[in-house]
Amino acid sequence: MYSDYVCPFCYLGRQSLDSYRERREDDLGIDWRPFDLRSGKRGPDGEIDRSVEDGKDEGYFEQVRENVARLKAEYGAEGMLALEETPEVDSFDAQVASLFVRETRPDRWEAFDEAILEALWLEGRDIGDPEVLAGIGREVGLDGRALRDAIDDEDHRERLRERFGAAERRGITGVPTFVYGDHAARGAVPPEHLARLVEGE
């Protein structure tokens, strides 16, 4: 699953994926791959230039709001905050932290991943703040100081940039994108669609 924490459809796609996994008899793990929705606006020092034109006008965002509202009802995610209630944050540090946990504590990664999504989309917390991320880590049994150090470590940050590049080279252009074998599905597709993707029916 390619995703970015600041994408509302990634949160909704996760709800769909969890629903599908609950219906399965066999376990289905998640191989998370990071994606940078802000890449076109991210400067050389990591800063976000919000003045960069990306072709997304008010009509686009109105369509996004309508789609989010529809999927919230469809996937039972009524507790999800409206887009205007959610802080506009950069997910880079959150993804650094997530990659660090994925590599060092894979047994706690899924809990951490879910906690970051819930912190932003259910609680409206600033997941761009390293201290918030350290606190989220502690809530799921991780070492907050180790997370804080990893976020500041340039080697970890560079590894995340490499993962972003790998996603681009694979042709991933948006999230969420679910990949299984040689097939892929993009968007917060319903559980039935994920079943067809995985089971080939």
What is the CATH number for 7? 3.40.30.10
Segment 10-34 mean pLDDT: 95
Q: Is the pTM higher than 0.85? A: yes
- Structural domain harbouring 171: 2-199
Q: In what order do the strands lie in the sheet with 2-3?
A: 33-34, 2-3, 177-180, 183-186
In this structure, the chain runs to a length of 201
Total count of domains within the chain: 1
Chain-wide mean pLDDT for the chain?
A: 93
Checking if the pLDDT of 111 tops 90, the result is yes
Checking if the pLDDT of 48 tops 80, the result is no
CA distance 19 to 13: 10
